[in-house]
Structure 1
Amino acid sequence: MAYTRRAIDDDLDELFPHLAAIAIEGAKGVGKTATATRRATTVISLNEARDRELVGSDSDYIVDREPPVFIDEWQLVPDVWERVRVAVDEDAHGGRFLLAGSAGVSAETRVHSGAGRIVRMHMRPLSFPERGIVTPTVSLSSLFDGTKDISGRTDVDVEVYVDEILRSGFPGIRHLPDAPRRVQLDSYLERIVDRDLPENGVFVRRPAALRAWLNAYAAATATDASYSTILDAATPGEGDKPTRQTVAAYREHLHRLFVLDPLEAWHPALSPLKRLTKSPKHHLVDAALAARVVGVGRDGLLRGEGERVAAESGTWLGALFESLVVQSIRASLGIAGVRAYHLRTANTDHEIDLILEGEDRRVIAVEVKLAATVSDHDVRHLNWLRSEIGDRLVDRVVVTTGRDAYRRRDGVAVVPLALLGR
Structure 2
Amino acid sequence: MEYQPRILDGVISDALKRFPAIALDGPKAVGKSATASRLAGSVFTLDNPEELAILRADRGRTSSADRPVLLDEWQYDPPIWDHVRREVDHDRTPGRFLLTGSANTNDAQIHTGAGRIVRLRMYPMSLAERRLDEPSVSLGQILADVSVDIEGTTDVSLDSYVREIVSSGFPALRHGSEATVADELDAYLTYALQREVPALGSMFRRPQALLAWLRAYAAAASTTASFESIAAAVTKESRPSRATIGDFREALAQLWLLDEIPAWAPEGGELNRLGNKPKHQLADPALAARLLRATPESLLGNRTRADTNRNYRSLKNGPLLGSLFETLVTLCVRCYVPPFGHQVGHLRTHSGDHEVDLIVESPDGRVVAIEIKLASEIDDSDVRHLNWLHEKIGDELIDKIVVTSGKFAYRRQDGVAVVPLALLGS
Q: Secondary structure at the match of 2:140?
A: helix
- Do 1:351 and 1:381's aligned partners in 2 also have CA atoms closer than 8 Å? yes
- Is 1:372 equivalent to 2:350 in the alignment? no
CA deviations 1:171-200 (Å, max 9, x no partner) are 001112211111000111111111111222
Alpha-carbon contact 1:233-1:309 (below 8 Å) kept: no
SS of residue in 2 equivalent to 1:108: coil
Please list the CA deviations of residues 208-264 of structure 1 after superposition, one character each: whole Å capped at 9, or x if unmatched: 1111111111111101111111111123x44x7432112201211110110000011
Q: Is the 8 A contact 1:223 1:310 kept in 2?
A: no
The one-letter code matched in structure 1 to 2:172 is: G
Q: Which residue of 2 aligns with 1:137?
A: 136
- Taking a change above 3 Å as real, the CA distance of residues 74 and 114 of structure 1, as seen in their structure-2 partners, is closer
Matched, 1:205 2:180: no
Alpha carbons 1:318, 1:370 under 8 Å: kept = yes
Q: What's 2:328 paired with?
A: 324
Question: Over residues 149-179 of structure 1, what are the superposed CA-to-partner deviations in whole Å (9 max), with x where a residue is unaligned?
Answer: 2100000010000010011100001112211
Matched with 1:66 is 66
Which position in structure 1 is the counterpart of 2:284? 286
Which residue in the other structure is 1:160 paired with?
A: 160
CA distance in 2, matches of 1:202, 1:334: 34
1:251 aligns with 2:255: no
Matches within 5 A, 1:18-417: 18-106=18-106, 108=108, 112-144=111-143, 145-235=145-235, 237-238=236-237, 241-306=239-304, 307=306, 308=312, 310-311=314-315, 313-417=317-421
CA contact (8 A) 1:21 1:94 kept: yes
Give the gaps of 5 or more residues in structure 1. none
Contact 1:271–1:389 (Cα < 8 Å) also in 2: no
Of stretches 300-309 and 6-15 in structure 1, the one that deviates more from structure 2 is: 300-309
Secondary structure of 2:399's counterpart equals strand
Query: Cα deviation per residue 1:30-73 (whole Å; 9 max; x = unaligned)?
Result: 10000000011211111111011112223323233222111111
> Larger deviation: 367-376 or 207-216?
207-216
User: For residues 329 and 242 of structure 1, what CA distance do their matches in structure 2 show?
Assistant: 33
Q: How far does the alpha carbon of each residue in 1:114-161 deviate from its partner, in whole angstroms, 9 at most, with x for none?
A: 421111111100011011111100001222214252100000010000
Which SS does the other structure have where 2:100 is aligned? strand
Q: Structure 1 runs of 4+ off > 3 angstroms?
A: 308-313
Change (3 A) 1:198 1:313: closer
- In structure 2, how many angstroms separate the alpha carbons of the residues matched to 1:36 and 1:107? 24
How far residue 201 of structure 1 moved from its aligned partner, in angstroms, is 1.9
Q: Given residue 159 of structure 1, which amino acid in structure 2 is its aligned partner?
A: D
Whether contact under 8 Å (1:67, 1:97) holds in the other structure is yes
User: 1:91, CA displacement in angstroms?
Assistant: 0.9
Distance 1:217 1:401, change over 3 A: same
With 173-182 and 331-340 compared, the bigger mean Cα shift is at 331-340
- CA distance in 1 between counterparts of 2:173 and 2:207 reads 25
CA distance in structure 1 between the aligned counterparts of 2:401 and 2:105, rounded to whole angstroms: 35
State the TM-score, normalizing by the size of structure 1. Answer: 0.96
SS at match of 2:40: coil
Amino acid at match of 1:375: D
Q: 1:345 & 1:327 partners in 2: Cα distance? A: 23
Cα displacement (A) at 1:337 = 2.3
In structure 2, the residue corresponding to 1:397 is in which secondary structure?
A: strand
| Secondary structure at the counterpart of residue 234 of structure 1 | coil
Q: Any idea what the Cα deviations from partners look like across 1:94-124, whole Å, max 9, x if unmatched?
A: 11110000011427256x3542111111110
Deviation at residue 405 of structure 1 after TM alignment: 0.1
Q: Is the 8 A contact 1:405 1:416 kept in 2?
A: yes
Structure 2 gaps, min length 5: 307-311
SS of residue matched to 2:321:
helix
Cα distance change of structure 1 residues 334 and 28 upon mapping to structure 2, 3 Å threshold: farther
SS in 1 for 2:108: helix
CA contact (8 A) 2:230 2:315 kept: no
8 Å contact kept, 1:73–1:100: yes
Distance 1:284 1:177 in 2: 23
8 Å contact from structure 2 (residues 197, 251) kept in 1: yes
Q: Read off the aligned partner of 2:45 and give its amino acid letter.
A: S
Residue identity matched to 1:183: D
Deviates more, 1:63-72 or 1:39-48: 63-72
**Residues 276-327 of structure 1: per-residue CA shift (max 9 Å, x gap):** 1111111110000000011121111011223245446321000000000001
